[in-house]
Each structure stands twice: as structure tokens, then as C-alpha cells.
Amino acid sequence: MKIGFIGSGNVGQTLGRVLIEKGHEVKLGAREPAKLTNWKQSLGNSELASVGTYREAAEHGELVINATPGVVSLEVLQSVGREALAGKILIDVALPLAFENGELRLSSPPNGSLGEQIQHAFPETKVVKTLNTVTSALMVNPLHLAEGQHDMFIGGNDADAKNEVAAYLRQWFGWRNIVDLGDISSARATEGLLLLSSRIYGAFGHSNFNLKVVH
């Protein structure tokens, strides 16, 4: 499958690497694509790996993944434009966080979420919020922690799109437990977990953790 990443940082590079290993044609979109030669080289200059502008990555993808910093996601996606994303699934992995006065804060609006903002700005696109509650290392390797006995949340307005993405999470990465939280406004709940995750990180001293709903 052709997969385009909007954003080429740690998350885009990590997910992109694994998806290339699975045989997908991945294009990382960046503000300055020329800076990504190291990433291509680290993949042995695989023919499946390419880089480009944000718009080129969006146009490349049958499936598109938003892996930009949440605080700039809307601006970057709007520079890509609605046409390149229309009709497609956009997996929104972004974390809407900001540091102000030395404190981690949510950059999403009160009683709102970045996921909803993106869905509102791109009504022809099927936005699915997921993977945003764990580190990139865990995103692509959930079985590395407690044999996968922990949960990934997913939310979005289009049930078929959510089912398709959930199937990808199982096939590509091995996710076992995927909890459907409902429509895209559930992104308020999962984006808000940033505040909890940063505290748990402080308590445990490492980021190799995830939540499990015990019921």
C-alpha cells in the first residue's frame, strides 16, 4: 500500500521504517525533505522509501498519517489542502502539547481536541485518532510489553475507517486489544492522557508503559 506521512520526526521515521519492512511504499513528508537522506540511507536506500514535501506525501498516500507536532498540525495540514486528503483515511497520531512556564499543557482547545479540529477542517477526510497514547517504540512493537496485554484506543466518525485502521494495527504491529471509544470527539479523552502519561513517566522513570482497562 502507498502510505504518506505528514511529518518526519521520530514517529514518522519509526512507523515508516516498520511499514517499509512490511513491503509498503512509504513517503515521508517534511518541510525540508533534503534533510531526510540519513533516514533513507539507514534503510539501505530501499526503493520503497521516499521523501517529499508535505503535499507530495499526502498525494502519494492511499492512507495518510499525521505525525506532525500537534501544536502545528492544523497549519501544516491546511498547507497541504483538502484535495490531497479528500476521500482518504487520515490516521491522526499527533500529540497536542505545549510547554508554558515549564509546564506540559494541552494545546488543544478546552472542551475540544486536535482530532476534532482536523475532522472539522477536512470534512471529506476520514480522521481516525489512534496510537497517540504510547511511545513510537510501543506503537510498532506492543508485544514487547507484557505480551501485548494492554490497550490501544481508537476513535473516529467513520466505522468502516476505524475497522480498517484497527485491522492494520493488528497486522502491521501486532496490537491485540483495541478499544473503540466512539466518534472523533473521543480524541478529547485520549489526547488528555498526555497529562497522565507524563506523570506516570515521572513516577516510574521510564516510558515503556501503557494502560490496560481491567474489567
Binding site for a copy of itself (CB under 8 A): 100, 103, 105-106, 110-111, 145-146, 149-150, 153, 155, 179-182, 185-186, 188-190, 192-193, 195-196, 198-200, 202-204, 206, 208-215
User: What's the min distance (Å) between Cβ of 194 and a copy of itself?
Assistant: 9
User: What's the min distance (Å) between Cβ of 163 and a copy of itself?
Assistant: 14
Q: Which is nearer to a copy of itself, 8 or 133 (CB)?
A: 133
User: What's the min distance (Å) between Cβ of 115 and a copy of itself?
Assistant: 13
CB burial string 182-196: b at 16+ within 10 A, e below = ebbbbbbebbebbee
Q: Which is nearer to a copy of itself, 121 or 193 (CB)?
A: 193
Q: Which is nearer to a copy of itself, 87 or 202 (CB)?
A: 202
Q: Which is nearer to a copy of itself, 21 or 183 (CB)?
A: 183
User: What's the min distance (Å) between Cβ of 181 and a copy of itself?
Assistant: 4
User: What's the min distance (Å) between Cβ of 50 and a copy of itself?
Assistant: 36
Q: Which is nearer to a copy of itself, 34 or 214 (CB)?
A: 214
d(CA 71, CA 66): 12
Give whole-number Cα distances, 112 to 107, 109, 119, 143, in Å. 10, 5, 12, 32
d(CA 201, CA 214): 20
Give whole-number Cα distances, 59 to 4, 28, 43, 92, in Å. 8, 11, 22, 17
- What is the Cα Rg of the chain in Å? 16
Q: Which is nearer to a copy of itself, 73 or 186 (CB)?
A: 186
d(CA 118, CA 127): 7
CB 125 within 8 A of CB 86: yes
User: What's the min distance (Å) between Cβ of 103 and a copy of itself?
Assistant: 8
